Amino acid sequence: MKGYDVVVIGAGPGGYVSAIRAAQLGKSVAIVEKEKIGGACLNVGCIPSKTLLKHSEMIQDIQKANSWGIQTGELSIDFPKLMKRKDQVVRTLTQGVDYLLKKNKVTLFHGTASVNQELLVTVGDEQIKGQDILLATGSKPFVPSIKGLNQVDYLTTDSFFDLKEIPKSLVIIGGGIISIELAFATAPLGTKVTVVEVADDILLTEDPDARNIIKANLKRLNVCVFTKAVISEVKQNKVILDDQELFYDRLLVATGRTPNLEIAKELGLELDEKNKFVKVNDVYQTSREHVYAVGDLIGGYQLAHAASAEGIIAVRAMNGENPRSLDQTVIPRCVYTHPEIASFGLSEVQAREAGYDVSVTTSPLSANGKALAMGETEGFVKVISDNHYQEIIGAVIVGTNATELLGELLGVKHSEGTMHELAGLIHAHPTVSEAIGESANMIFSQAIHV
């Protein structure tokens, strides 16, 4: 049996980043992964979905170019070749993570881990001991109880990216972020997409104005969206609602994810009040001393970058430091639709409920020169601020590369800047980022182009 300062279970973004940071702090580190390095994000989530979205975006760009006068002729799609490129992107990144683990002298164990009450970790025939244990075991697709679903062949977000041919028709059960991203990824490839959501609307976690833009673009892509749906039954090749039948070539169930709690239950770790996630303190220590948990296991934002940030705080705590707890209001939230949605912090409603005297300024991209030149005028920059100190409370950007543009606002907030500093920045012209300056200047009635 070999001992380590830290044993990390799970090699997704929460796990491998934590393991590397622990090694950088001088710890001896082992990491255990039962499937593929990189976890769900690299293998069946963030990276493959963004790769397919890029393919679909290029198709829309070609169609736009044709309408502008650049004639390309008939468009044909080699789907297996697109998927081969997706596989290569994933392989490059997972091999990169493997290299980084080796570079930082993190010992990798492949296999399913179990942990006993003495914190002895068993992986196959091997046993290892960690002074501290970090659980980053991630999550798996949640499959709701729907009559007939277990009798038909359906895809989840874990199996969707194994498709060998593009479906002629795809019904997606679920209207959350992953579902809508995959609708945007497949519809431009020629798939007839139908989204079925039982809630009042799709993308309920997002800004209402952003949501309206996305719904309009789904309509342009001929994606049918059913909300407040009552699913009576699922049969092979059709979903039966209370008032109609929806036929499909392939069925995707994308209704969220549920945490992998097997090891947490082995250790008898305390769960939260809803008995769904592992309960942790501000530095991600569980109810058991020397056992920490991060990522999808603990709820909150189920995002790769959130899990990585949590893991870094956890290993710093293991190192005897006193790290500052993670500020949830500065975690960026991204939706890779077309256009993209990027946001952080509180919405206008949440800010008012929290007691802020709120101002909301919105700069539409329809007035932005670069957006006009690109033909990408759908969208806006919205900033929520406090009237007393002009503190930046939250922001929403909708537009091309919104997920990149959000960094400027986050950088100003992170450095304790206010709307004064944001309004004083000189932006290059023409850039879409000029809309950020315009939105900031609006609060002082000094916007030029709005």
- Per the CB < 8 A criterion, the answer to whether 342 and 334 are in contact is yes
Which run of H or of E encompasses 385? strand 380-386
> With pLDDT > 70 as the criterion, what percentage of the chain qualifies?
100
> Taking Cα atoms as reference points, which of 304, 258, 305 lies closest to residue 277?
258
How many CB atoms within 10 Å of residue 358?
Answer: 19
Query: What is the reported pLDDT for 1?
Result: 84
Which run of H or of E encompasses 436? helix 434-442
> Taking Cα atoms as reference points, which of 82, 90, 89, 88 lies closest to residue 55?
82
* Rg (alpha carbons) of the chain, rounded to whole number: 23
Please tell me the distance from the alpha carbon of residue 267 to that of residue 7, in angstroms, as a whole number. 15
Query: What is the reported pLDDT for 331?
Result: 97
Active-site position among 110, 388, 429, 449: 429
Segment 345-404, tens digit of pLDDT: 999 999 999 999 999 999 999 999 999 999 999 999 999 999 999 999 999 999 999 999
> What structural domains and CATH numbers belong to the chain?
2-141+258-328 (3.50.50.60), 149-255 (3.50.50.60), 339-442 (3.30.390.30)
For residues 65-85, one letter each, b for 16 or more C-beta atoms within 10 angstroms of the residue's C-beta and e for the rest, the string is eeeeeeeeeeeeeeeeebbee
Query: What is the reported pLDDT for 446?
Result: 93
> With pLDDT > 90 as the criterion, what percentage of the chain qualifies?
98
Average pLDDT over residues 268-288: 97
Please tell me the distance from the alpha carbon of residue 318 to that of residue 117, in angstroms, as a whole number. 19
H helices, E strands: number in the chain:
13, 22
- Per the CB < 8 A criterion, the answer to whether 21 and 315 are in contact is yes
Average pLDDT over residues 281-297: 97
Segment 205-236, tens digit of pLDDT: 999 999 999 999 999 999 999 999 999 999 99
Which run of H or of E encompasses 98? helix 79-103
Segment 45-97, tens digit of pLDDT: 999 999 999 999 999 999 999 999 999 988 899 999 999 999 999 999 999 99
Please tell me the distance from the alpha carbon of residue 38 to that of residue 16, in angstroms, as a whole number. 7
Residue 98 burial (10 A CB sphere; 0-12, 13-18, 19+): middle
Query: What is the reported pLDDT for 379?
Result: 98
The values of phi and psi at residue 186, to 5°, are -100, -35
Segment 109-118, tens digit of pLDDT: 999 999 999 9
pTM of this structure: 0.95
- Per the CB < 8 A criterion, the answer to whether 194 and 169 are in contact is yes
Average pLDDT over residues 292-304: 96
Query: What is the reported pLDDT for 398?
Result: 98
pLDDT, mean over the chain: 96
Backbone CA torsion sign across 278, 129, 127, 9: positive
Query: What is the reported pLDDT for 303?
Result: 96
Query: What is the reported pLDDT for 236?
Result: 92
In the residue annotation, 429 being an active-site residue is answered as: yes
- Per the CB < 8 A criterion, the answer to whether 137 and 10 are in contact is yes
Please tell me the distance from the alpha carbon of residue 333 to that of residue 346, in angstroms, as a whole number. 12
Query: What is the reported pLDDT for 273?
Result: 92
